[in-house]
Amino acid sequence: MPNYIYLRSLWWEEGNIHPEAKWEEAILPYVLVEGVTLEEYERRTDIFNVRGLWEWTKNKVLVYELPEMPHETCICAIVKELNNCWSLVDHTDATILGLGSTQTRADNCGKGPDASFRPVKSQVQAPNGSDGQNFPWPNLIIEVAYLESTMHVLNEVKNYWLKDLSRVHDAIVVKIDPISEGEMPSRMQAWHFCASDRITRKGDLPARTHFEFGTHDQFGNVLNSTPGTCIIRIELDCLYHQVYSGTQIPRGILPDPIELDLSYVRDKILFAHET
């Protein structure tokens, strides 16, 4: 066994991302370990705090993403912006709960989003819950792809998270093109998917919104996106889908739709890379 393979296995065994494991050379998805139960996978992801980076399927633990700065900074920036959007209903029965990267179980898979949110919801009938029992699904999830491929993250959103209206209702996907050491992130894309848009006859789920919000596009052309031009809009009916029956949707208190301005997210990503 090459030494770097053993060193990579330490992430599973000890939670240690070893500096000599050559993770930067790994082809993702990477099979970290095989023959693992879902329970053991969930236990270790909790212990090592790697939810959103590992996935479990067919008794294999796969690495789809690494905790690189663009990935982590983007998640934190989006969460902060969204929390600001609905801060007016904090400490009320219409509050939006942040569930982070809480693990879910479905389709013989175990997955955790990069971030997730929902209002207070009633339990669902087992085994349709996000835990494989009766725990309600989030209404909104965030998926940020850096080393993860665009194809994989979009497929995951369409065929797992928003598979039908019994699961997640809306998803925001961000793809940041990887950079070399010392470079600044430049190409960033965003998608917004809503389960209400699913084309039932074809089984497809088109993106409600897709745009570039980085400093350059795929051809290297400069983009001059200003605040107010890179907006994802989440309707309150979607954010509060299946809200607890005793709670009213806070129309007139929160804007409808909620607006997430990705230009502010881009700025935070760039600030984090300034030296």
Q: What confidence tens digit (pLDDT) does each residue in 69-91 have?
A: 999 999 999 999 999 999 999 99
Q: Which residue has the tokens 């894309």?
A: 189
44: part of which helix (H) or strand (E)?
A: helix 38-48
pLDDT score of 199: 78
Please, what CATH class does the domain formed by 66-272 belong to?
Answer: alpha beta
Residue scoring higher pLDDT (203 or 22) = 22
Q: Which two tokens stand for residue 202?
A: 């074809």
Count the neighbouring beta carbons within 10 Å of the beta carbon of residue 262.
27
Is the pLDDT at 51 greater than 90? The verdict is no
Is the pLDDT at 115 greater than 90? The verdict is yes
pLDDT in tens, 220-261: 999 988 999 999 999 999 999 999 998 999 999 999 999 999
Q: Which residue has the tokens 């690189």?
A: 68
State mean pLDDT over 159-176: 96
pLDDT score of 169: 98
The average confidence (pLDDT) of the chain is: 94
Is the pLDDT at 275 greater than 70? The verdict is no
Whether 166 contacts 152, CB under 8 Å? no
pLDDT score of 202: 65
Residues 18, 212: Cα–Cα separation, whole Å: 34
Judged by average pLDDT, the poorest of 1-10, 245-254, 260-269 is: 1-10
Q: Where are the domains of the chain?
A: 1-64, 66-272
Q: How confident is the model at residue 2 (pLDDT cuts 50, 70, 90)?
A: confident
Q: Which two tokens stand for residue 138?
A: 């989030």
pLDDT score of 71: 96
Is the pLDDT at 1 greater than 70? The verdict is no
